[in-house]
Amino acid sequence: MNVLDIINKTKRKIKLSAEEIGALVSGFTDGSIPDYQMASWLMAVCINGLTDDETIALTLAMRDTGEVLDLSCIENTTIDKHSTGGVGDKTSLVIGPIAAACGVCVPKMSGRGLGHTGGTIDKLESISGYDTELPVDRFLSVAKETGFSIISQTEELCPADKKMYALRNSTGTVDSIPLICSSIMSKKLAMNADCILLDVKYGSGAFMKTYEDACKLALLMERVGKAAGKRCRAAVTDMSVPLGNNIGNALEVKEALDILSGRSKGTLYRLCIELAAEMLELAGKGTNEECRTLAAEAVSSGKALDILEKTIALHGGDSRVCRDTSLLPQARFSYEIKAAEDMKITAINSEEIGMTSLMLGAGRVSKDDVIDMSAGIVMNCEVGKRIGEGETIMTLYSTVCSDFTEASQRALSAIEFVKFR
């Protein structure tokens, strides 16, 4: 098949067949189609887009370059959850155990953080001993036993996506909704769960900056999932402010444990109950209202926390953290940012808070950077809250950074406020 013909068709907005897309993806993956030709096609897609049928064909072709997991050993309905990422997003650590406590199995592969967005795998690795690279058979065994397990993505799943994403990242072709959709959904379909819940974020701390673009991506991913025979649903949620109070790996695990133990019932708790209810409804556990009740009971009864504790132990981690969060990595240095005057918070720039956390050592600029698991931020403010002069707005934590001058200035610049008397 002539690659130039494929490139020219997309450049001229002529629809490609599934066979043409399949040949392009397999050829690029095995090296017979060079980077420069694939980059040319990706740029054409970035400019002209793809039809829904083309996006479905691209996703399936990418999925089929690697293994598709066999989850038949798990008797309960399986459900996978994906978030498009943001600042302070630790929802997987909360809603996975909740869903498992309600009789659904959540086997999940997750990624690491890069830039201002955090990664679930990094958060789990802040728990001493937690092994995120279990062999697939052991991973499935844990999921079958507790109903919940998370590991890092294996090399055998979707090799096309790994190669294509690296090329997109180096050629300025990341911000294309069909390409984003195919990247996410190819991995979700390779996981092969019965159901897929997609949490599509929008706002300053998310990849999709506007609600409208997030809705476009959500609808497209739903269509792709359903076309592949999955029960699939997308929720569009706000990431214009950090999700929860804690940003940073160990700090976010602590906040997740505070929710599962019943110590915290704020905005993050309510979102987790909402998302868990969506998962349970999708899995056929009742109406949305009934599923909300089930999710809340899983927390109040302690069953969800018990499941996370067992899962951590089976991954080789120190499960005592579930009852004693002081066993998580603790920062050597901290710095309180205090209000210079009476103020009312009117906005918080989520991306800037994420970048501040990155400066403290909580994230990585390149994939080989080493993370300070103790680093991060604890917010003592939210939009609409009044803070008096001298009260703490937020606290910065780090073990690798002892001079908080630059970080505190950036953090404070992310807060918008008005004075009040």
Cα 313 to Cα 322: distance, rounded to the nearest angstrom: 10
- 40, 64, 80, 82: the catalytic one is 82
A 10 A CB-CB count for 421 gives 4
**Full-model pTM:** 0.93
The catalytic residue among 108, 112, 162, 168 is: 168
Is position 183 annotated as part of the catalytic site? Answer: yes
Q: Do domains 3-63 and 79-322 have the same CATH topology?
A: no
Catalytic residue, candidates 64, 122, 161, 372: 161
Under 8 Å CB-to-CB from 312, ≥6 apart: which residues? 127, 130, 318, 319, 321, 322
Q: What class does CATH assign to 3-63?
A: mainly alpha
Does residue 163 have an active-site annotation?
no
Q: Which of 116, 187, 201, 230 is catalytic?
A: 187
Q: CA–CA separation, 375 vs 370, rounded Å? A: 12
82 is catalytic: yes
Catalytic site residue from 152, 183, 240, 264:
183
pLDDT of residue 34: 96
User: Domain 330-419 belongs to what topology?
Assistant: Aldehyde Oxidoreductase; domain 3 (3.90.1170)
> What does the buried/exposed string (b/e) look like for 194-212 if buried means 16 or more CB atoms within 10 Å of the residue's CB?
bbbbbbbbbbbbbbbbeee
CA distance 104 to 99: 6
From first to last of its 421 residues, the chain has per-residue pLDDT tens of 799 999 999 999 999 999 999 999 999 999 999 999 999 999 999 999 999 999 999 999 999 999 999 999 999 999 999 998 789 899 999 999 999 999 999 999 998 876 667 789 999 999 999 999 999 999 999 999 999 999 998 889 999 999 998 899 889 898 899 999 999 999 999 999 999 999 999 998 888 889 999 999 999 999 999 999 999 999 999 988 999 999 999 999 999 999 999 988 889 999 999 999 999 999 999 999 999 999 999 999 999 999 999 999 999 999 999 999 999 999 999 999 999 999 999 999 999 999 999 999 998 877 778 899 999 999 998 898 899 999 999 999 999 999 999 999 999 999 999 987 6
pLDDT computed for residue 8 by the predictor: 96
pLDDT confidence of residue 419: 87
Picking from 309, 319, 321, 308, the residue whose alpha carbon sits closest to that of residue 100 is 308
Q: Which two tokens stand for residue 30?
A: 């095995």
The class that CATH gives domain 79-322 is alpha beta
Annotation marks residue 187 as catalytic: yes
Q: What is the pLDDT of residue 116?
A: 66
Give strand pairing partners of 60: none
Phi and psi, residue 30, nearest 5°: -85, 0
Report the distance separating Cα 126 and Cα 317, nearest Å: 10
Instruction: Please indicate whether residue 116 is annotated as part of the active site.
Output: no
> Which residue shows structure tokens 């450049």?
11
Domain ranges of the chain: 3-63, 79-322, 330-419
Specify the pLDDT at position 205: 82
- pLDDT at position 421 is 65
Per-residue model confidence (pLDDT) at position 154: 87
From residue 54, alpha-carbon distances to 158, 384, 419 in Å are 18, 45, 53
Q: Which residue has the tokens 């004693």?
A: 324
